[in-house]
A = this chain, B = another copy of it.
Amino acid sequence: MELWQRLIEGDEVACARCLTIVENEREGYVELLRNIHPYTGNAVIIGITGPPGAGKSTLVDKVVKELRNEDHKVGVIAVDPTSPFTRGAILGDRIRMSDLNLDPKVFIRSMGTRGSLGGISKGTQAGIKVLDAYGCDYIIVETVGVGQSEIDVVKTVDTVVMVMVPGLGDDIQAIKAGVMEIGDVFVINKADNDGARKTKIEIEMMLDFKKDWEFRPPVSMSIASENKGIDTLVQNIKAHTKYLNESDRLKDRRYHREAMQVYQFVEHHFDNTLEKAMDQKEEEINHSLEGKTDPYTIGFALIDQLMK
């Protein structure tokens, strides 16, 4: 039996190997993704994101346990920034999840961001696909940070859970503007800290800005470290899943996710070709630094060279 067939049969070792293959783009990874494609599209995909210090890992841990109580098979992809020092994903606080690692119906993988040029979402998309084919009912994608790449990742999931924390200070305004608006479900974690109620009011006020909600994001509180508020959060996630199923929105999101896979596959291929072509341009780039030419002239030449 081929590796991808063993994955579909639910073989845990095959799943781990498939994830490694797609994450590192080992030989045959495209063929693997092609083979498993017809077996995907069944999982509910949940993105959990929010600013650093919000306690996302602990929260994910508890949400997984809540879903396991209902006997769901659960996959977790934790997107960790890659360390230039260690040249790999930092497992860090993933270690907390070790008791879940013993559960055969939970599969956890940390993924690094690898390349310098917006590399987060490519590996994540492929990883979701593998866990989907593996038969997970729920796939949770946890991202650290509040940047654009994280937005790109969570945009392609079914439900975005935005984890907030009381008293984030002035920059909360900036976070609100850029990231909070993609939240389908909000949770204020560490709700025993000062200012939790104030943060809830601020989020509700921001949500009031938009009048025509088809599904107004619910805002709940949690203290993940004490397992408080997790049941409400999971209920809110399920309410959003129900809304997606009953409206056209699920179709929209899945279309977007499929299109994203096509786009990223092609862009990635182009980027690889471009990187190789640029290795030949060292002299011209030095000339550009000296003002003898400019980046756009070099760029136009590369466009002519690479594109039809």
Stretch in A3-11, A235-243, A285-293 touching the partner: A285-293
6 more CB-based (< 8 A) A-B contacts, given A51-B53, A92-B173: A33-B294, A144-B178, A147-B147, A259-B278, A265-B299, A270-B306
Identity of the chain B residue whose Cβ is nearest the Cβ of A82 in the assembled complex: B178
Judge if A201 is at the interface, Cβ distance under 8 Å: no
Judge if A273 is at the interface, Cβ distance under 8 Å: yes
Interface residues of A (CB under 8 A from B): 30, 33-34, 37-38, 41, 51-58, 80-86, 90, 92-93, 113, 116-120, 144-152, 155, 168-175, 177-179, 181-182, 209-210, 254-255, 258-259, 261-263, 265-267, 269-271, 273-275, 278, 281, 285-286, 288-289, 291, 294-299, 302-303, 305-308
Contact B149 A81 (CB under 8 A): no
Complex Cα distance A189/B278, Å? 40
Stoichiometry, copies per complex: 2
Q: In the complex, what's the smallest C-beta–C-beta distance from A249 to chain B, in angstroms?
A: 14
Contact A294 B174 (CB under 8 A): no
Contact A289 B258 (CB under 8 A): yes
Identity of the chain B residue whose Cβ is nearest the Cβ of A88 in the assembled complex: B177
Contact B55 A174 (CB under 8 A): no
Q: Which residues of B contact A297 (CB under 8 A)?
A: 34
